[in-house]
Amino acid sequence: AQSVTQLDSQVPVFEEAPVELRCNYSSSVSVYLFWYVQYPNQGLQLLLKYLSGSTLVKGINGFEAEFNKSQTSFHLRKPSVHISDTAEYFCAVIVTSGTYKYIFGTGTRLKVLA
Amino acid sequence: DSGVTQTPKHLITATGQRVTLRCSPRSGDLSVYWYQQSLDQGLQFLIQYYNGEERAKGNILERFSAQQFPDLHSELNLSSLELGDSALYFCASSPPLSTDTQYFGPGTRLTVL
């Protein structure tokens, strides 16, 4: 069965510091990988996605992620965070067999401290 | 603003009752997805419709049902409600040529008392 693991439920970080949010997946078939952000009292918004090609993917708001097939990881990074990045971040996969069905991780709450 | 609208924003009801949540996808999007977000189970995919037809099913209970109408709006019906059904229910839509990307609505917060 496919699954997504976000190892950190909460990540506190000071403003202008770098951050990495970890995501690992398990699947016996090819997957598409995504990161979504959820600001308080809002729906989810796509940050970036990996479908194929370059393993380093750049997204909105200065975020990037690297697909590592051997480690089955898709960690999200930002070199310098802002207070406004405080939100919940979800890693997700779509298994590329049959219909598109998202599997979401449990989320990581990023709290940026002044 | 994603362009996906959901009504109502909040819903408070009692156990055993039935409610209907409504979703209007972005203009031009044919796919609609429903998700349940709760503290204990996280974000769970419930069901997907594409142009009026059921396309994929996730962890949707038998007490729940959905449909997509000819104008492409969708409704999620929840019946015989239990306390554990209290959650945020999100609708998302995706464009025909990019079904991997989903645009989420603001959600409906359901509270079952």
Q: What's the pLDDT at A86?
A: 96
Look at residue B78 and give its three-state secondary structure: strand
Quote the pLDDT of residue B34.
96
Contacts of B108 (CB under 8 A, 6+ apart): B6, B7, B8, B9, B10, B11, B21, B88, B89
Q: Nearest-CA neighbor of B91 among B46, B35, B13? A: B35
Nearest to A36, CA basis, from B67, B102, B50, B5 = B102
Mutate to test the interface with A, among B102, B103, B108 (most CBs of A within 10 A): B102
For the cut 80, the answer to whether the pLDDT of residue A96 exceeds it is no
By the CB < 8 Å criterion, does A1 face chain B? no
In this complex, the residue of B44, B56, B105 whose CB is nearest that of residue A43 is B105
More confident of the two residues B99 and A8: A8
Best of B29, B38, B100, B108 to substitute, by most chain A Cβ atoms within 10 angstroms, is: B100
3-state secondary structure string, A47-79? EEEECCCCCEEECHHHCEEEEECCCCEEEEEEC
Q: Which residues of chain B have pLDDT under 50?
A: none
pLDDT of the residue at B56: 86
- How confident is the model over A54-91, as pLDDT tens digits? 899 999 999 999 999 899 999 999 999 999 999 999 99
- Rounded to whole angstroms, what are the CA distances from B25 to A94, A97, B11, B74, B92? 20, 25, 20, 8, 7
Residues with Cβ < 8 Å from A54, sequence gap 6 or more? none
Separation of first and last alpha carbons in chain A: 41
Round to whole Å and give the CA distance between B71 and A22.
Answer: 40
Q: Which residue of B has its CA nearest to A42?
A: B106
Cβ–Cβ gap A101/B45 under 8 Å? yes
Q: How is residue A103 written in tokens? A: 């599997």
H-helix or E-strand containing B50? strand B42-50
Using CB atoms, which residue from B43, B99, B107 is nearest to A104?
B43
- pLDDT tens-digit map of A18-27: 999 999 998 7
Q: Is 70 exceeded by the pLDDT of residue A99?
A: no
Pairing of strands A108-113, A56-58: unpaired
Q: How far does the CA of residue A51 sit from the closest CA of chain B (Å)? A: 9
pLDDT of A28 > 80? The answer is no
What gap in Å lies between CA B43 and CA B50, rounded to an integer? 21
Angle at CA A7, nearest 5°, toward A97 and A44? Answer: 60
How does DSSP classify residue B25? P
Residues in chain B with CB shorter than 8 Å from the CB of A53 are: none
Q: Residue A98 pLDDT > 70, yes or no?
A: no
Higher pLDDT, residue B11 or A51: B11
**DSSP reduced 3-state for A83:** helix
Residue A8's pLDDT is 94
pLDDT of residue A36: 95
What per-residue confidence (pLDDT) applies to B39? Answer: 82
Assess whether pLDDT exceeds 80 at residue A100: no
